[in-house]
Structure 1
Amino acid sequence: MYKKILVPVDLSDPEMTTHALDAALALAKTGAEASLRLINVQPLVPVAFVDYIPPNFDEEMREAAEKDLAALAAKVELPHERVSSIVRFGAVYPEVLAEAEDWGADLIVVGSHRPTMATYLLGSNAKTIVRHARCSVLVVRQ
């Protein structure tokens, strides 16, 4: 059914990540040779803070996120050649959508919180991914 499943991972919210990853894994196991890619998006440091952080701060963030993603990917019950991960920098939804395009994903499985007043006022990444993705999107609620 699906060949390439992209799963955005919020390293600060393991419960939401687990629900999305479980759903993606179930779909990957039903498809013939489906691959999973875990993506984590790290925020860019505002220019106003550049003077207050170490010069290699972005690289340290990337290394820490890659390590955490590798540990998560190692737990996925698929052959290792069918699981990959990537860390990108920027805003969440544009980077997830760009990775889906670059990698050729045919499904994005995104975890989402129950809507709150802040979500209605500020928007949500899941909502924007659903609205703008060029492939199918599955939103998994906790």
Structure 2
Amino acid sequence: MSYSTILVPVVPDHVDEGRKAIETARQLLDPGGRITVIAVHEDPPYYMPTDAYWAVPAVLERQETLGTELQDALGSPDVEVLVRRGQPTRVILDLAQEGGYGCIVMPSSQPGWRHTFLGSTASGVVRHAHCSVLVLREAIAG
């Protein structure tokens, strides 16, 4: 099976996982298709005090520098890089739906006690996506 549009959510601190996800997406991509990388800059929780670090200008500046960093690390002629603000699962699902993506290829973090098999974002995307979702997992040493 192949897809004309693939969305690849990445965590900015895990660029190597993002590269692996892009390579997997390329294997699933139709000739002439497009890959979009999305990184979500999560807003601070409502209960966090507003100080200079969390002020809107600082958040917007970080969003801009994050986009440049990811474009340098992951971008290529066949890959578009987007940075959005919000709750990661919701932003990924909304973009996938609105953009008409046929598949989401995403790495998943190591699970914690609450997420036995998938990270929380991957779990939410798998449960609610309108399209196919391929979750890439690293082998867990046991």
Question: Structure 2 length normalisation: TM-score?
Answer: 0.83
Q: How far does the alpha carbon of each residue in 1:14-55 deviate from its partner, in whole angstroms, 9 at most, with x for none?
A: 232222122112222xx2211000000001023433234355
RMSD of equivalent CA atoms:
2.0
Total equivalences in the alignment: 134
Q: CA separation in 2, counterparts of 1:39 and 1:123?
A: 17
Does 1 or 2 have the higher relative contact order (CA < 8 Å, sep 6+)?
Answer: 1
Q: Pick from 79, 96, 99 the counterpart of residue 95 of structure 2.
A: 99
1:84 is the counterpart of 2:80 = yes
Q: Is the 8 A contact 1:16 1:113 kept in 2?
A: no
Q: How high is the sequence identity, in percent, across the aligned residues?
A: 31
Residue 134 to residue 55, structure 1, CA distance change in 2 (3 Å) = closer
Q: Is the 8 A contact 2:19 2:74 kept in 1?
A: no
Unaligned runs of 5+ in 1: none
4+ long deviations beyond 2 Å:
45-49, 51-55, 113-116
Q: How far does the alpha carbon of each residue in 1:67-111 deviate from its partner, in whole angstroms, 9 at most, with x for none?
A: 01211343x4xxx2x421211111111100011112111100010
1:25 is the counterpart of 2:26 = yes
Question: Structure 1 length normalisation: TM-score?
Answer: 0.83
Residue 55 to residue 105, structure 1, CA distance change in 2 (3 Å) = closer
Residue 52 to residue 85, structure 1, CA distance change in 2 (3 Å) = same
Aligned to 1:66: 67
Residue 39 to residue 123, structure 1, CA distance change in 2 (3 Å) = closer
Structure with the higher fraction of residues in helix conformation: 1
Q: CA separation in 2, counterparts of 1:50 and 1:5?
A: 37
Unaligned runs of 5+ in 2: none
Aligned to 1:44: 43
Aligned residue type for 2:21 = A
Q: CA separation in 2, counterparts of 1:15 and 1:46?
A: 27
